[in-house]
Amino acid sequence: MSMASASRPRLGGLLADNSGLTVAILVIALIGTVEASYLTYVHYYGLSALPCFGKHAGHSSCLTVQSSVYAKLAGIPVALLGLLGYLAILASVFVRGESGRAAGFCVALIGCGFSFYLTYREIFTIEHICEWCVGSACLMTALAIISAIRYVRAN
């Protein structure tokens, strides 16, 4: 072993397994965590998310979506729910065995289904599209697919 490779920190030692799928889940979930953190911040401080390109009657489409009745579930902002989901998926990557893979897949699948529902509401009920929300839905869909493959391959 060379001196350079011995001194490099290895992420694989921290992960439950060192597969490319696990690393992909980690990276995508980290991106989702950053995005959901930003949207949660935007929600609690009453800001308009940037950049949102869609405009209707002088208002940002993102602002329209984020101020709709669908932006909260039982009084909890969906951005915060998304943040909690991404954090749960991140945590599952560090749990060894089938339980970690199953938990990550379950949370990602629920998040993906909820994202599909919210996207449906954006298109057909609110009639506005929030680019940030669509981005999060894409990330969660990717996580559901990769988590499913990781779960099935291990079993």
Q: Quick one: DSSP state of residue 124?
A: I
Please compute the mean of the pLDDT values over residues 64-83 and round it to a whole number: 94
pLDDT of residue 42: 87
Average pLDDT, the chain: 86
In this predicted structure, the answer to whether residue 144 has a pLDDT above a threshold of 90 is yes
Strand ranges (E), 27-129 = 55-56, 59-60, 72-73, 76-77
pLDDT band at 83 (very low <50, low <70, confident <90, very high): very high
Q: Is 155 helix (H, G, I), strand (E, B) or coil?
A: coil
- Average pLDDT for residues 81-91, to the nearest whole number? 98
Is 114:36 a contact under the CB 8 Å cutoff?
Answer: no
Homologous superfamily (CATH) of 18-154 is: VKOR domain (1.20.1440.130)
Q: What is the pLDDT of residue 121?
A: 97
Mean pLDDT of 75-99: 96
The full set of domain ranges for the chain reads: 18-154
Comparing 16 with 39, the larger pLDDT belongs to: 39
Q: Please tell me the distance from the alpha carbon of residue 7 to that of residue 149, in angstroms, as a whole number.
A: 33
For residue 154, the model assigns a pLDDT of 83
pLDDT above 90 for 73: yes
Q: What is the average pLDDT across 76-104?
A: 96
